[in-house]
Structure 1
Amino acid sequence: MPRQASAFQIRVLEERIGTPLFLRKPRRIALSGTGARLAPDVSSAFETLRSAFAQSRQLVETTTRLRAGQAAD
């Protein structure tokens, strides 16, 4: 994701939450107190999503097609 798009998404999220998640300094960005408190839960949520997507892909890969038809006489 381009840097500008990432920055925009972060700002949208901060507006929805109502508080900054990052402290912006020249040439540096750091988690705010709120960002630091939310980080473990957000990381866990992303890991849960990654796991669910991986399981979904495995189901798709292991699903086979069965085609039934009449035998020729």
Structure 2
Amino acid sequence: MASPPPTVLHAEAAPAVDLLTVPQVMTRLQLGRSAVYDLLRTGQLSSITLGRARRIPTHALADFIRTRLDQEAA
């Protein structure tokens, strides 16, 4: 009898986190640079810092938009 193959975890099994630059977020939200940095500074939009570079996870942008839509609907 052959034993079943061992379970192998692949790096791609973990969900990938896409990171956006501030200019990319500016384009998607159609806002200026100062407005995007204000959202980051006030904590309305989450980000991470890699060295001197600021990156916004796509899920953080989606959460921000969803929250704003829910606020508008209320």
TM-score (norm 1): 0.33
Larger radius of gyration: 1
Q: Which has the higher contact order (CA 8 A, sep 6+)?
A: 2
* Larger proportion of helix: 1
Q: TM-score, normalised by structure 2?
A: 0.33
